[in-house]
Structure 1
């Protein structure tokens, strides 16, 4: 009898065949268990799906014509299976699973890792039938479905079509970057909506706020402001979410400054630390003041996860600020670079921080750059305070502004009381 070495079977072929068999058995196992539980079971079980996957693998080895002929045969058997069972089971899930087992078996010969991952995903989707149906029919409203499709279209259809280069004379406006802000505002609203459903308003919104702050704290302030305006009972959790989003943004701001100029980060370390402690304390205070009783907060979130008009208005404001700062830099020259960076911070704090770090590395006095960091924080805090009033009303705006001003005051006081003894410029 010939050994494997004498047969000269490539290891990749053996791996592919093993993966194909595993995929077929995994999908077939789920189908077999469902056959045992339901009267409207499909035609294919464990053995059939394993054979289908191996058929796809063997056909791939034999060549294109073998794959075509075998594929036509599998498709014919699939149509016959549906014709026999359509009266008691009009769905196509079992038939689609048959085709996927065959196709994934063929894919396993060339891309075994991808085929295995897709096979696991198919098995998960098949086994989650009841949960998915309950979620779709009992938990998701028509408005939520519309919002989900709108967000997907904005991120996956519109965004790739927009140019990623500047389209204005000053080189400030990139349509793709601006549209990313629109997507972020909608995504922040959706994240808060999901968090509300999962863990409730008291912890869900602040948790969503903190993580969304790494993407855009400005978008978070706007998104949670709209939620606070729509539902009065969510005011305090929304404020805590907005403040914790700014804490995350501050952490990212410090990292950006450090990447651009390590000396500037060392110079601004104590003011930034004080600012972080102040905004964290404000967010924690909001969590402590949030209603603890279950009946004090709404049981269900609002029907809409976000408003597209609100996101578009936010992006338009950002575009106007970017144009103003670019025009100012062109008119004033290098002397207006720091002023321009401060104006940029109104719309995008992290981009302004990177610009300031580059200015410090290019010769700007470290003491001036240190106070420039405070100026960027101040410009951002003022802009977000105004946005909070506009998006969430005077109560939301007042609370958010109070937390942001506490952050700014802590940074200013620390910078004043703890001077930096360093060189003239950042290294």
Structure 2
């Protein structure tokens, strides 16, 4: 039988997987008569056996698999009275199957082998997470979020249902999921890191997905937990900062000339957002200690996420209808309305019109400011609606300051 380089690679991967899992199991098998049956040598041999079955004849997988199953039964019968868990026996089956997979896809098998080893090694942290750190209500929220992402989202049609191509159920559900996910990420960050740093950090990264959804999620958190109002407002402003950075990238990709003409205005907006968000992190009242985990706290509220998705649907529908009604003559008005729901799509539209010459550079500059105004307006409304008056004032102050700074620079600098 001739061996290829792929065969050698698969066998090496199988051996490595078996040794990796086996070393972890060896450290936990114990000593004496009650020690576990499978350690480093057993797992290495099981993984190699799976690989050799594929290499010689795949039909051997069935026969050898039955032998492995018999060993698993014997192992459990021997140790089940003292330890009713079956983790060690399942690990034996995993080593065998991963060894077989290594002959077909060494990279995938190796990656899964690392995952299995990590899961085996983190027994105590995982038990503590599931038993002590996550409450029953938080577990329910987590399962609801998983269902929204893994069950509902793939089942929704990925096509427009209206004549103007605006109402795509899967796209709209994305916003609902984002509101739920941002709330969950903020909740986890609050539990793990504390309010002062956890929420702003989560806010910045969530802004790359949807700053509007992030504002809604952190507003909900500020309403439910008033002591974290300032860090939550900083998180919302930092999410808008991340969105603004994407906004700059979209304009630059669509019209470099428009970006060059508005770069200082956009820099001014970035500086203001950074400054106002820093107030919530380092300002008065921001040094409150991390809040303890509250078993009654919710990671997110489904009703608010669904309401937000409905609002997005209405805005997208009206925007598409007006664009069809007025055509390119109403491009800026339509883009401004669209910015209420999706800032970056509107930025791409204005940049494209500017690059093609359909829109004068001077008008496009003010169009950029108009998009920031429209986006800031809807996020301010979302902030007041989701987080209450004080949260809304904090977020609106930062957004208003950034828009005013950008408008002043545009007014004072030539096109």
TM range (shorter): over 0.9
List 4+ stretches of structure 1 deviating above 6 A: none
Following superposition, the deviation at residue 293 of structure 1 comes to 4.4
The corresponding residue for 1:255 is 249
The corresponding residue for 1:399 is 394
Following superposition, the deviation at residue 9 of structure 1 comes to 2.9
- 8 A contact 1:237–1:290 mirrored in 2: no
How many equivalent residue pairs?
Answer: 413
211, 221, 229: which one aligns with 2:223: 229
In structure 2, relative to structure 1, the CA distance for the partners of 1:406 and 1:194 (3 Å cut) is same
Q: Structure 1 stretch 60-69 or stretch 40-49: which is displaced more? A: 40-49
Following superposition, the deviation at residue 198 of structure 1 comes to 2.2
274, 279, 283: which one aligns with 1:280: 274
TM-score, normalising length: structure 2: 0.96
SS in 1 for 2:207: helix
The corresponding residue for 1:167 is 161
Following superposition, the deviation at residue 36 of structure 1 comes to 2.5
In structure 2, relative to structure 1, the CA distance for the partners of 1:140 and 1:216 (3 Å cut) is same
The corresponding residue for 1:424 is none
Following superposition, the deviation at residue 90 of structure 1 comes to 1.4
The answer to whether the aligner puts 1:299 opposite 2:299 as a matched pair is: no
The corresponding residue for 1:267 is 261
Following superposition, the deviation at residue 11 of structure 1 comes to 2.2
The corresponding residue for 2:336 is 342
- 8 A contact 1:236–1:290 mirrored in 2: no
404, 410, 413: which one aligns with 1:415: 410
- 8 A contact 1:159–1:176 mirrored in 2: yes
Following superposition, the deviation at residue 371 of structure 1 comes to 0.5
Following superposition, the deviation at residue 40 of structure 1 comes to 5.8
The corresponding residue for 2:65 is 71
1:130-279 correspondence to structure 2 within 5 Å: 130-279=124-273
Residues 50-92 of structure 1 deviation map (CA, whole Å, 9 limit, x = unaligned)? 1111111111112122111111111122122222322222111
Following superposition, the deviation at residue 290 of structure 1 comes to 5.3
The corresponding residue for 2:313 is 319
CA RMSD of aligned residues (A): 1.6
- 8 A contact 1:254–1:265 mirrored in 2: yes
The corresponding residue for 2:4 is 10
Following superposition, the deviation at residue 125 of structure 1 comes to 0.8
- 8 A contact 1:253–1:350 mirrored in 2: yes
TM-score, normalising length: structure 1: 0.93
In structure 2, relative to structure 1, the CA distance for the partners of 1:109 and 1:407 (3 Å cut) is same
Once residues 35 and 332 of structure 2 are traced to their aligned partners in structure 1, the CA distance between those partners, rounded to angstroms, is: 70
Q: Structure 1 stretch 114-123 or stretch 389-398: which is displaced more? A: 114-123
In structure 2, relative to structure 1, the CA distance for the partners of 1:39 and 1:141 (3 Å cut) is farther
The answer to whether the aligner puts 1:31 opposite 2:63 as a matched pair is: no
Following superposition, the deviation at residue 8 of structure 1 comes to 4.6
- 8 A contact 1:20–1:108 mirrored in 2: yes
Following superposition, the deviation at residue 25 of structure 1 comes to 1.5
In structure 2, relative to structure 1, the CA distance for the partners of 1:293 and 1:284 (3 Å cut) is closer
- 8 A contact 1:202–1:290 mirrored in 2: no
Once residues 372 and 38 of structure 1 are traced to their aligned partners in structure 2, the CA distance between those partners, rounded to angstroms, is: 77
For structure 2, which runs of at least 5 residues remain unmatched after alignment? none
